[in-house]
């Protein structure tokens, strides 16, 4: 009778992480080569191919291919894709329907002049990629200025650069908060249900969500949504409408 080997903690980074769909996994196999074979079996041929170009690090030490017969079981094995020093590119091959194109506009006086970093825009972009498998086609910051907001958002809609515009910030009750008015000015039709859905979800987390005046609607073929200003609240807003957004886009683009 043989004793089961301890598992190997396999860490994935960058494209390997995306192909595996996880940051780490406990895999069987005694040697490095056996663990990598298990990676291929478990996560597919594309990751298997990538592994062949990766640096393999066991407990912090690089293991050359000649050393793949060394023991991995019970250790931490990291799969490190080539770093960006060169220029080989791996396009995401996509099948099926075209992905949603999303433009993100952070509305903030202070972020627009660089007083602080815009953390909400990137958080919204990440959430959109995660929830909607969307392509982020714009990521910009403007001041709490009604004309500036209208110019940017209407420009994106009219040039058809995206299917959805997500604004973040400027939806509160302070005199500087002008995003809802600027948005309403450019919308051709409002979709109050989307705003209600976002507020309703926000209210489950905090009563302050009642102070959000966010609006939603359509300009031309583009859906426009106001999200809250904080990374957490903006992400929650998007989660609240993620299930209906693809259909909203399909309706907005129907007949085109």
List residues binding another protein (CB under 8 A). Answer: 11, 13-15, 17-18, 53, 57, 60, 78, 80-92, 94, 99, 117-118, 121-122, 125-126, 129, 135-139, 161
Toward another protein, which CB reaches closer, 57 or 242?
57
Residue 49 CB, nearest approach to another protein (Å): 12
Toward another protein, which CB reaches closer, 42 or 119?
119
Toward another protein, which CB reaches closer, 39 or 156?
156
Give the span between the Cα atoms of 26 and 12, in whole angstroms.
11
Residue 14 CB, nearest approach to another protein (Å): 3
Toward another protein, which CB reaches closer, 136 or 234?
136
Toward another protein, which CB reaches closer, 2 or 95?
95
Residue 61 CB, nearest approach to another protein (Å): 11
Residue 148 CB, nearest approach to another protein (Å): 17
Residue 52 CB, nearest approach to another protein (Å): 13
Toward another protein, which CB reaches closer, 60 or 255?
60
Residue 235 CB, nearest approach to another protein (Å): 14
CB burial of 32-51 (b: ≥16 within 10 Å; e: otherwise) equals bbbbbbbbbeebeeebbebb
**Contact yes or no for 103/159 (Cβ under 8 A):** no
CA proximity to 237, closest of 141, 123, 150: 123
Residue 184 CB, nearest approach to another protein (Å): 27
CA proximity to 168, closest of 133, 138, 193: 138
Cα dihedral sign for 149, 224, 237, 201? positive
Toward another protein, which CB reaches closer, 8 or 212?
8
CB atoms under 10 Å from CB of 54, counted, come to 20
Task: Name 203's Cβ contacts closer than 8 Å, sequence gap at least 6.
Answer: 209, 210
Give the span between the Cα atoms of 187 and 249, in whole angstroms.
15
Four-point Cα dihedral 231, 107, 155, 101, nearest 10? 0
Residues present in the chain in total: 256
Give the span between the Cα atoms of 229 and 232, in whole angstroms.
9
Classify strands 8-12 and 61-62 as parallel, antiparallel or unpaired. unpaired
């Amino acid at each position: 009778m043989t004793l089961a080997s301890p598992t190997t903690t396999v860490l994935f980074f960058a494209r390997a992480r995306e192909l595996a769909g996880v940051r780490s996994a406990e895999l069987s196999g005694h040697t490095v080569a056996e663990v990598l074979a298990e990676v291929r079996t478990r996560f597919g041929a594309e990751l298997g191919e990538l592994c062949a170009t990766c640096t393999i690090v066991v407990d912090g030490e690089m293991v050359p291919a000649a050393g793949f017969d060394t023991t991995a079981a019970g250790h931490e094995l990291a799969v490190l894709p080539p770093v960006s020093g060169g220029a080989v590119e791996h396009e995401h091959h996509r099948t099926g329907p075209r992905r949603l194109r999303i433009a993100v506009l952070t509305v903030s006086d202070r972020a627009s002049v660089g007083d602080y970093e815009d953390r909400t825009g990137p958080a919204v972009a990440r959430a959109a990629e995660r929830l909607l498998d969307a392509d982020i086609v714009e990521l910009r910051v403007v001041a709490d200025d009604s004309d500036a907001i209208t110019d940017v958002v209407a420009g994106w809609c009219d040039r058809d650069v995206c299917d959805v515009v997500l604004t973040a910030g400027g939806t509160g009750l302070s005199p500087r908060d002008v995003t809802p008015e600027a948005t309403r000015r450019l919308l051709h039709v409002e979709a109050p249900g989307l705003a209600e859905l976002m507020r309703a979800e926000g209210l489950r987390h905090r009563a302050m969500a009642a102070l959000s005046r966010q609006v939603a609607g359509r300009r031309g073929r583009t859906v426009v949504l106001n999200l809250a200003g904080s990374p957490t609240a903006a992400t929650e807003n998007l989660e609240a409408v993620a299930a209906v957004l693809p259909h909203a886009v399909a309706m907005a683009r129907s007949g085109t």
